[in-house]
Structure 1
Amino acid sequence: MTTHATLQLTIDCAEPERLVAFWAVALGYEVEPPPAPFATWRAYWVDQGLPEEELGTGDCSDSVIDPRGVGPRIWFQQVPEPKAVKNRLHLDLGVSGGRTVPFATRKERVLAEMARLESAGASRLRIEDSQASGSFSVLMQDPEGNEFCVH
């Protein structure tokens, strides 16, 4: 018997609600709503018996979902230790349209997305610009320093 697995990405972080807000904007995702009939995730977790002191502050929203139901759920798991080294896994955001689109247009699209994500709290690490190979991308960091690429 074969079991169909679902995919969830889990990202360790210090402030889940901060990253939920950023990645919802970056990916066009939605903050995952709490299970009915609860108004907040905090209310849900308290009902499930988690002590208030373990819940931190805010409404405890810690995941985003693709409103189309296509992409994976992303859960931001609060951990006590800070990020110390480069990610072993990172997200790539493809916004250029691919190699069938003229290089100048792809570059323009990537730069526009970079600016949009910077205004949402990301920071730019470096731009990779190689017209000779037809490659243009930007290495960025989310608000907690997790690397991702825009291409």
Structure 2
Amino acid sequence: MESGLSSLLSVSIDFETSHLVFPTIIHWILAVLFAIILVTKVIPFLAAVKRGERTLPIVGESMDGFRFFGTLALIAAYFYLMAVVGNMFPYTGYGFLFVSVPFVFLMALMYLHEWTKKAVVIVLINAIVAPSVVWFVLAKLFRITLP
């Protein structure tokens, strides 16, 4: 009886694969949730489109090309310049800080509908304060290495 109970209470861990347990569980949960979304939302929507009751939201709508391609260009420049500036100041996080301020400023200006003096000042303050607070918290308080 003792051997059965001790084997029930003993734990053996395979350290070569133990780090894969939670990612595997998360992958299966995400797959099940994706299947539920497909069945409950996407398939009925596509059936309504086929019957003519609904239309696809993307087809036939006008696109703001300036904001779309401007966003893509700013994101590409952001990641490229963050590495370049980060290499000038290694292990300080200044690459993140010095590139995030103009990125946030330009991105906000691009999506700003009315360019009033007050709105531009608010955008400028936000572009300076938000990346600075994030840089301080991550780089200084938590000592996370930023580019």
Structure showing greater relative contact order (alpha-carbon pairs closer than 8 Å, 6 or more residues apart) = 1
* Fold in common (TM above 0.5): no
Q: TM-score, normalised by structure 1?
A: 0.23
- Structure ID, larger Rg: 2
Which structure's residues are more often strand, by fraction? 1
Which structure's residues are more often helix, by fraction? 2
